[in-house]
A = this chain, B = another copy of it.
Amino acid sequence: MAQDLTRDLMDLIERGRDRQLRLAVTGLSRAGKTAFLTSLVDQLRHSGLEARLDLLSAAREARLLGAQRVAQQDLGVPRFPFDQARAALEETPPRWPEPTRGISELRLKIRYRPARQAWLRPETTELTLDLFDYPGEWLLDLPLLEHDYLSWSQAQFADAGPARRSMLASFYAEVEELTPDAEIDEARLAAISEHYAEGLRAAREAGFSDLQPGRFLLPGELQGAPVLQFFPLPGLAEQDAETLDKLPEASVYAQLAKRFAYYQSHIVRPFYREHFRRFDRQIVLVDVLGALNAGPERFEDLSRALTRLMQSFNYGQRSLFSRLFTPRIDRLAIAATKADHVTPEQHQHLVALLEALLAEPLKNLKYANIPVKALSLASIRATEAREVSHQGHSTPALKGTTLDGESLLTFPGEVPSRLPTADFWTRQGFDFIAFRPQQAAPGALPHIRMDAALEWLIGDKLT
């Protein structure tokens, strides 16, 4: 106990000296969190020698000496599986690392020479960088804290588009026969919940992102627990609130409302309280290209999901988050990943489209005076940019290997620089191809603009 206290105190002092930083990485499933974190650790570990990090000032000025993994703080959080991820990239043929499934953590000690040498200032110094990786889906649950069961139910039925509805068909069929005042039948509630969870899983498989409650998709040890067995009830109206609240405890409505409240207090709040509010910096990764590939309904859905997700970073005084927790994040990055899957001259469009997609949240962040930067990057570069001559014209192209092992030279298409209109979707399809990683060579992993991301996220702490 005394030892713990001493350590916490030392930590606090370290923080005070700007020598410790907690950086979190998030994004919806398949946004590229694992690849990003693997590359970030890899770049910093090679930063003294081979890494190409010219956009990171400490590296450009040759002040960065390297980084080492050290023992993490919280023993109850899984360690980010860097070695396994790195090993996957070194296989023949190389493959993308396994995605992580919950929160994970990794601590690096970065050694560098301060920019200004001064009296009493040591020649080299250290920054402790705590890295966290967690599913963006968890942030989709924040708005759920603002609801009670009644308003949440209403919102769920209001939001779903036609494709989403069709995926929930078997749930709709079951739930329609259920009245709020029916006596509960445990087995039936469990069965209907399973239909609901199945619908959510099908929607995720089909590329949808705006899925609530997030923990239904990754139940872990709570598999089969009543807290993950609730669902929205159709046909509830605000004016019935009083009648509904008076239903006995053994009624369907009362039981579902109780489970919803338990989910809020035992699943959503603890994540914010124990993890989120302790992050200093955050990067949100977005697979813009994947959403373009998937068509208008899913693109729309991504936009809604991101707007919802970004609420967790809205620290305006009257924001939901600020009212509930004491936030700390003082700098934010949003990044369109897999930039190597389009030709280099499209990267600006990619950033513009990302900014358009996040226009509303970005406005709020600006108003709340949270510094935020949008960029495009490739954590681990899978392709090489080429020029192809065709009838005297020179066109940009990409060379890479598809996931099936086919070698390809292609021009994947143009990225729109603003939100695509209905007309746009019918006129032009998108078909960005998924490439597998290049065979790993000795030294740091090849990347695009990881150094720009690092400069924004930790650069100021390395001066």
Interface residues of A (CB under 8 A from B): 3, 7, 69-72, 75-79, 81, 83, 102, 104, 184, 186-187, 190, 220-227, 229, 249-250, 255, 258-259, 262, 266
Contact = CB atoms under 8 A, between A and B. Distances in A.
A221 B221 contact: yes
B226 A72 contact: yes
Nearest to A10: B249
Tell me if A's interface is mostly helix, strand, loop or mixed. mixed
B225 A75 contact: yes
This protein's copies in its complex: 2
Contacts of A220: 220-221
A7 to B, nearest CB: 7
A190 B71 CA distance: 11
A79 B184 CA distance: 15
Nearest to A220: B221
Contact of A76 (B7, B187, B262): B262
B186 A76 contact: no
A161 to B, nearest CB: 31
Given A7-B249, A69-B187, A83-B187, A75 B226 contact: yes
Nearest to A103: B221
A118 B71 CA distance: 68
Given A71-B184, A186-B70, A222 B76 contact: yes
B255 A71 contact: yes
A83 to B, nearest CB: 6
A293 to B, nearest CB: 32
Contact of A266 (B76, B79, B224): B76
Contacts of A262: 75-76
14 contacts: A69-B187, A70-B186, A71-B184, A72-B226, A75-B226, A75-B262, A76-B225, A76-B262, A76-B266, A78-B223, A79-B226, A81-B224, A104-B224, A221-B221
Given A71-B255, A249-B7, A255-B71, A78 B186 contact: no
B227 A79 contact: no
A222 B69 contact: no
Contacts of A72: 186, 226
A8 B69 CA distance: 48
A164 to B, nearest CB: 27
Given A220-B220, A255-B71, A77 B225 contact: yes
Contacts of A187: 69, 83
